Structure 1
Amino acid sequence: MCTAALLDASLATAADGSGPLSADPLSTWQTDGVVWSLASANGVVYVGGTFDTVRPPGAAPGQKAVKRTNFAAFDAATGKLLPCAPSFTGLNHTVRAMKASPDGRTLYVGGSFNSVGSTRVANAVAIKTGDCSLSADFRPAVSAVVRAIDTTADAVYLGGDFNRVSGQVRSRVAAVEPKGPLLPFKADIDHPVRALSAAPSHGKVFVGGDFDSVNGRSDHALVTLDARSGATLLSYPGWFSLQASVKAIVRDNSRFFVGVEGHGPSILEPRISGRLTNGTMVWKDTCRGATQALVPFQGVLYSASHAHDCSDTPGGFPESGDRQHLMAQSMTDRSIFHWFPDTNDGMGEGVGPRALAVEKGVLWVGGEFTKVNGKPQMGLTRFGSRDTGAPKVPALSLGATQPGKVTITWRASWDRDDAALTYKIYRDGKLVGRKTESSAYWDRAQMNYTDSVKPGSRHRYTIDVTDGTNTSRKSAALTVTVPKAKAKSRTAGGHR
């Protein structure tokens, strides 16, 4: 019997009645390099990173390549490559951060680049989403790489490695008007900022990164700043190891969520939820394996990481030598859903996925991976609501025979987005039994079925397995000859 506390994606639901998306990837274009950032607006997903070309689904590296220099745009629903293709170039050229304005009319882009097409810029620009043209208004001169962007109706917040913006001192974080002028918002942060999330209705900006000091006081990895002045409003002592940094911050209407990366062995690298109003912790998971990106969708918190030990979190998995790169959790109580699509570590730093975005009900994933669910797929993939993958059919073995009885055995299969699977057993092509069992890739029980048949008969057994939507092919047949009943011995009679 499977003992793991599995939260079946087909049974467990989020607060609004929905659950995780399918773990079966949709047909998706690929990049020839790392995707660092994803953003979405008006049915379009924008892809930024360090790459020279993109290629169609299924194409091998170098085949059918289409020129796209560090930036590409796709239809979110169909996955079609769109013509929007400004070229981001310069020394160490890369796009590291993107975010659309609240009205979706403008896409703000940051990174390390000094030209967009033939236009000279300095690490941050704005693109009009309507016609994919470069905005002439938003041209702040940022002195070093921009790693994080968030937007409100009144401000564009930038975070990164820089110390000056538009000729004025701004230490790793700044705010610029949507039309370009620098805002008074100012904070003194000692090391790079890697994540931003503005909460304008609360007058706050959540700032995460590698830092240890903010505004002259000791504050490690995460602070909340006043959205207008940049003054420190909240600190988070004890939330993280001193060897950890914050790589992702997202929020909904009442909570914020933080993704952590550790630097060193045996460092917890959890996801943490806190209240927007006062910054108190709501929950914290116990996973190891650096979190690179988060996105909330319909009550589910999706994360990109390389988690390898979540054994003390409900629904989580033990250390097994494998790294699980994509996960889904309940936003209300940290529980991990049975949703396990996966990538490999890939190229570059070997991290796997680095960016997430949801648009038109489709989850887009970008990073440095070269495989998804074990099949070649480079840099980019996406997941929708349709479950299309059947569980792998198990192999049958003979457990035992006796006159009139046959016991067949098999190891439980597992499915990436359904824990409970139903196994159907066939004798000579006729369905004779079924069993339902929950399983996961780290917890697969040995199962059996005992069939009653005529002594001395011969039969062919097969099995298939279904997740309720998709059914595997039938297994290879197991042929069994049933023993005959033993003849009763006769006792000789006689006279005394």
Structure 2
Amino acid sequence: MRSSVRRSLSTSLRAVLATSVVAAGLAAVSAPSPAAAAPAVDGLTQATAAASCWEVKQLNGSAPSGAYWILTPQLKVPTRIYCDQTTDGGGWALIGRGRENWTYNYDGKGTAADVADQVTGTGAFSPRQLSGATVTALMGGKRIDDPTYGSGVRLRRATDPAGATWQESRFTFKADSRDRWTWALGAGLPLASFSIGGSGGTEATTRNFGTDDGFRRVWTAEDPANSYVRGFTYGSTVTGSTSSSSYLYSKNAGGAYAVPFTQVYIRPKLLSSQLSFTAIPAGGTAPETIRAAPRSGALPTSWGVTGLGAGGTTENAGEVQAFAQIGGTVYVGGNFTTVQKGGSATGSDKVAQPYLAAFDATTGEPVPSFKPQLNNQVKALAALPDGRLAVGGEFTSVGGSSRAGLVVLNPSTGALDTSYKTNVENRLTGGKVSVRGLDVGGSYLYVTGAFTHFTHPSAGERYAKGGARIDLSTGLADAKWNPDFNGTGTAVDASDDGTAVYFSGYFTQMRGGQTADRAAAISTATGAAQAKAWQPTFSTAGSARYQQAVKQVAGKVWLGGSQHSMFSYDPTTFALENAHITKDGGDFQAITGGNGLAFGGCHCEQWNYSDTTQYDSTSPGSTNVTWSQADKIYYVGAWDATTGDYVPEFTPEMRADQGRGVWALMVASDGTLWAGGTLTSAVRENGTNQWVGGFARFAVRPHTAPAKPSGLAASTSGTTATLTWSGSLPSGGTFEVLRNDRVIGVTTSKQLTVAGSSSSDRFVVRAADSWGNRSASTAVVGPPSAPATTPVDLVTSGSTWSYLVDNNVSVPSSWTSGSFDARAWPTGKAVLGWGKGPITTDIDVAAGATRPLTSYFRQQVTVTNRAAIKSLLLTTRADDGVAVYVNGKEVGRANLPEGALTRGTYATVAASTATAVASPVSWNVPPSVLVDGVNTIAVEVHSNYRLTPSLSMDLTLTGTS
């Protein structure tokens, strides 16, 4: 930082300036907590970070342009931002710069330091863009489209090859259209107004706006006319150069639609006095973790599948159409002919193995011992409870035997399991058997596709059209369960509670002539009646109304298909809850869930438009929009399983043969997302493009809190405090030092000197990894005169608990209170649970019994002087989800959905015991929940799925008095 930037203002002058600015028209908001003394701010150090570039300029009228430290509660840590303090009074924050090849992805390009440190010159031609989360955080909780706290978006574009002359442009978003930032400008975000070089207009979109075809044009969309170059392009009369040093670029020498070097700015008008930071709790800060979305970069790929087999070349006969996992093996099915290593494999790196292959779930290497023999494509796979593999498709011969549509294979060798003898037939005129969907529910295998009958050598034939179920104990089709659809089914999913089965497809009616409009919810009870009438919403009034994928994920049933729709429904009422449409691109073809997310695969590679059911409202350039957000998508996207909102931070970049995209999705047991279809390449985490054969894998992002630092100590000399601590630095991470209510230092060292400290300061330290996961902090270090405290251990690790693990016993709502009688419950010492890890008391159900989704635990402790207890910290593990109550009052939950919890509520994450132990969850509990006398601690632990291999519970409740 140049010394000329350093200038201090007296406290009185700062107060006058801040007061005058608010009086000039900024809306007043609540001040910070009194626990946090308002620090002097100038943006020159992390400890004196300002709320905005604009505040720096208001407090120091001569502040020059340069990089300053900016902090809002949403940014969490002081962040270096380049501030233009000259143009239009200054206060502009640089959020991106570059020439061609800008990204539309939400995570941007590069780091904040990249943007702040190289703002112009040929070295800045390769775009660097702040993440969408960072840009939104710069607004300090205000909307991007709020004119009270912002000045819209500013573009500074070069107008000549040498970069000697520049143009200023502005645009503002239409009111109530942008609550957060997105780089998906090519999607056509609606504008209220724009001005380019002094010439302006209204009612336009970010895709393409302006007043001429020359320099007064901004074109952000990829198009054949501009050679698919991403940038802030001029019009057709402005030519560029292929020169690496030209500020006006064209992919072809002298080509039209020149792409200028551009800087993008916003101007949040925020003062520190307007921001509300949260004071550090007495017990320190709780851990923070990001959601378990996949990494956008694909895992390295060596092996894949290629070639098209007997299934043909239509779009629904792509290389990969199904996944299943059994143990450490992932099975891949489709219309491929070959398993090969790399795009130009020969010899032993290219093996003829059509339609079905096995790969190591961890390494992605093929499993050569698995050698099934099928004569046509595989369209569905399912892992059976006994470890065998069910295979559905359009084959008529397996292992040399005449078998159509559905077989069971040995998962190790691929050999036909001859004990399963049921065969599938389609007796419609010209009918061909096609089994397109399989799912296990309870003791049945549910089947959908194109078929009419199931036959067995000794049991005869059973009629079931378009939908059926196989009794896994006998291998026979259930003769009393037949939806009798009048068209082909495309996908099937057994409901989480076991009461219904969801179908999607091309049908319009079911048994008895009942309406089943391309989707149906069928009761699992004998008779296959509708569980609930379901009228899906369609995104167009035209004839393209088929649905291709259905899946319940947590509390929503997702349905995807024609006209690019990805909609969710309430599984109780089947009312529409969330609506998303992708365009340009195409239909959704696969849906799965995992890690608290729903995933959808499609032949879409442009935009996801949120909160709209109207396909035509997403037309490029349309200003009459009905959607709320637009984000980039490449063939597969993620949606939050609880809210239904699009998850923009997962944006994998892939290419697919003929753009047909993703037709199969699966979240493996280690959290890795497998995406398959006609994929030909994928961008890795390091940014390089790699060949893929049919499928790509995306590892889950780290989403556990780092280890907590310890031993924080403070010494003071005058107004300078020196802090030291112990602990392990996360890989690529930092330590964050908080004072009173905010971060004032980020370091890789284990000490920090803080100038301007006072005796009232309270400090803590926490660890943060490079992904944004944060540990619980150390205990607060206060002034020497702070009152002495005494530790209080109310519940210790390894203590004795009463527990209930029984599907046949219901607990009343009073089970968390002291009045509930739990004397009949068994007792045991923690750790209680089953599976991997150290378990002191094994509470697993008997062999052959079904594990419940929810287990209950209680303990009672006596408190003799509640008034003396000043703080409480509860620490437990989330394996998989946990909710804790003290005297009937909920004090915390983790990995569970919002709202009322029932015995059938699924955890939102399948955390392993090792993960849960390594990342305990903690809550600061108000001592007021305690009473003098007997207190009841109640814990309910929920599993993510009934066959979860592990569950564990231990808890501590400690405090100070």
- For structure 2, the residue ranges without an aligned partner over 5 or more in a row are 1-93, 97-103, 108-130, 137-287, 308-318, 426-432, 456-460, 622-631, 684-688, 703-768, 772-961
- For structure 1, the residue ranges without an aligned partner over 5 or more in a row are 388-466, 470-496
Counterpart residue number, 1:66: 351
CA offsets per residue over residues 85-118 of structure 1, 9 Å max, x none? 343433xx110111112x3612110001122222
* Aligned 8 A contact 2:372 2:415 in 1: no
Match status 1:78 vs 2:372 = no
* Aligned 8 A contact 1:42 1:104 in 2: no
For 2:402, which of 85, 95, 120 is the aligned residue? Answer: 120
What is the alpha-carbon distance in structure 1 between the residues aligned to residue 470 and residue 536 of structure 2? 32
Counterpart residue number, 1:332: 642
Indicate the SS of the match to 1:368. Answer: strand
* Aligned 8 A contact 2:601 2:665 in 1: yes
For 2:330, which of 22, 28, 45 is the aligned residue? Answer: 45
Counterpart residue number, 1:480: none
* Aligned 8 A contact 1:254 1:277 in 2: no
Counterpart residue number, 1:30: 304
Q: Which amino acid aligns with 1:224?
A: A
Match status 1:100 vs 2:374 = no
What is the alpha-carbon distance in structure 1 between the residues aligned to residue 498 and residue 405 of structure 2? 29
Indicate the SS of the match to 1:134. Answer: coil
- Structure 1 residue 293: deviation in Å? 0.9
- Structure 1 residue 276: deviation in Å? 2.7
**What are the within-5 Å matches in structure 2 for residues 39-438 of structure 1?**
39-56=324-341, 58-60=342-344, 62=346, 64-90=349-375, 93-101=376-384, 103=385, 105-129=387-411, 132-143=414-425, 144-166=433-455, 167-178=461-472, 179-183=474-478, 184-199=480-495, 201-215=497-511, 216-227=513-524, 228-240=526-538, 241=540, 243-260=544-561, 262=562, 267=563, 269-288=564-583, 289-307=586-604, 308-313=606-611, 324-336=634-646, 337-347=648-658, 350-359=659-668, 360-373=670-683, 374-385=689-700
What is the alpha-carbon distance in structure 1 between the residues aligned to residue 496 and residue 611 of structure 2? 32
- Structure 1 residue 304: deviation in Å? 1.1
What is the alpha-carbon distance in structure 2 between the residues aligned to residue 312 and residue 109 of structure 1? 35
Indicate the SS of the match to 2:608. Answer: coil
Indicate the SS of the match to 2:660. Answer: coil
What is the alpha-carbon distance in structure 2 between the residues aligned to residue 323 and residue 78 of structure 1? 26
Q: Which amino acid aligns with 1:31?
A: V
Residues 225 and 302 of structure 1: is their aligned pair in 2 closer, same or farther, counting only changes over 3 Å? same
- Structure 1 residue 211: deviation in Å? 1.0
Q: Which amino acid aligns with 1:182?
A: A
Identity of aligned residues (%): 23
What is the alpha-carbon distance in structure 2 between the residues aligned to residue 202 and residue 278 of structure 1? 16
Indicate the SS of the match to 1:287. Answer: strand
Q: Which amino acid aligns with 1:280?
A: A
- Structure 1 residue 381: deviation in Å? 1.3
Indicate the SS of the match to 2:320. Answer: strand
What is the alpha-carbon distance in structure 2 between the residues aligned to residue 55 and residue 5 of structure 1? 31
Indicate the SS of the match to 1:286. Answer: strand
- Structure 1 residue 209: deviation in Å? 0.4
* Aligned 8 A contact 2:437 2:449 in 1: yes
What is the alpha-carbon distance in structure 2 between the residues aligned to residue 281 and residue 386 of structure 1? 30
Q: Which amino acid aligns with 1:60?
A: S
Q: Which amino acid aligns with 2:582?
A: C
What is the alpha-carbon distance in structure 1 between the residues aligned to residue 700 and residue 496 of structure 2? 32
For 1:19, which of 267, 292, 299 is the aligned residue? Answer: 292
CA offsets per residue over residues 387-436 of structure 1, 9 Å max, x none? 9xxxxxxxxxxxxxxxxxxxxxxxxxxxxxxxxxxxxxxxxxxxxxxxxx
What is the alpha-carbon distance in structure 2 between the residues aligned to residue 204 and residue 385 of structure 1? 30
Residues 50 and 200 of structure 1: is their aligned pair in 2 closer, same or farther, counting only changes over 3 Å? same
What is the alpha-carbon distance in structure 1 between the residues aligned to residue 589 and residue 530 of structure 2? 25
- Structure 1 residue 238: deviation in Å? 4.7
Q: Which amino acid aligns with 1:295?
A: T
CA offsets per residue over residues 298-346 of structure 1, 9 Å max, x none? 11222211333433459xx977799721212212223222221132230
* Aligned 8 A contact 1:170 1:186 in 2: yes
Residues 16 and 318 of structure 1: is their aligned pair in 2 closer, same or farther, counting only changes over 3 Å? farther
Q: Which has the higher helix share?
A: 2
State the TM-score, normalized to the length of structure 2: 0.36
* Matched positions, count: 374
Indicate the SS of the match to 1:311. Answer: strand
Q: Which amino acid aligns with 1:68?
A: Q
Q: Which amino acid aligns with 2:488?
A: P
Residues 355 and 9 of structure 1: is their aligned pair in 2 closer, same or farther, counting only changes over 3 Å? farther
Residues 379 and 9 of structure 1: is their aligned pair in 2 closer, same or farther, counting only changes over 3 Å? farther
Residues 229 and 43 of structure 1: is their aligned pair in 2 closer, same or farther, counting only changes over 3 Å? farther
What is the alpha-carbon distance in structure 2 between the residues aligned to residue 323 and residue 332 of structure 1? 20
What is the alpha-carbon distance in structure 1 between the residues aligned to residue 664 and residue 389 of structure 2? 16
Indicate the SS of the match to 1:282. Answer: strand
Q: Which amino acid aligns with 2:667?
A: V
Residues 200 and 106 of structure 1: is their aligned pair in 2 closer, same or farther, counting only changes over 3 Å? farther
What is the alpha-carbon distance in structure 1 between the residues aligned to residue 445 and residue 326 of structure 2? 16
Residues 80 and 239 of structure 1: is their aligned pair in 2 closer, same or farther, counting only changes over 3 Å? same
What is the alpha-carbon distance in structure 2 between the residues aligned to residue 319 and residue 78 of structure 1? 42
Indicate the SS of the match to 1:139. Answer: coil
Indicate the SS of the match to 1:271. Answer: strand
Indicate the SS of the match to 1:377. Answer: strand
* Aligned 8 A contact 2:554 2:641 in 1: no
Indicate the SS of the match to 1:378. Answer: strand
* Aligned 8 A contact 1:122 1:139 in 2: no
Q: Which has the higher strand share?
A: 1
Q: Which amino acid aligns with 2:296?
A: A
What is the alpha-carbon distance in structure 2 between the residues aligned to residue 31 and residue 111 of structure 1? 17
State the TM-score, normalized to the length of structure 1: 0.68
* Aligned 8 A contact 2:297 2:653 in 1: no
What is the alpha-carbon distance in structure 2 between the residues aligned to residue 55 and residue 204 of structure 1? 41
Indicate the SS of the match to 2:550. Answer: strand
Single out whichever of 282-291 and 73-82 deviates more from structure 2: 282-291
* Aligned 8 A contact 1:311 1:319 in 2: no
Q: Whose relative contact order is higher, 1 or 2, with alpha carbons under 8 Å and at least 6 apart?
A: 1
CA offsets per residue over residues 186-228 of structure 1, 9 Å max, x none? 1221111001001263421111101111221232111111113
Counterpart residue number, 2:752: none
Residues 342 and 292 of structure 1: is their aligned pair in 2 closer, same or farther, counting only changes over 3 Å? farther
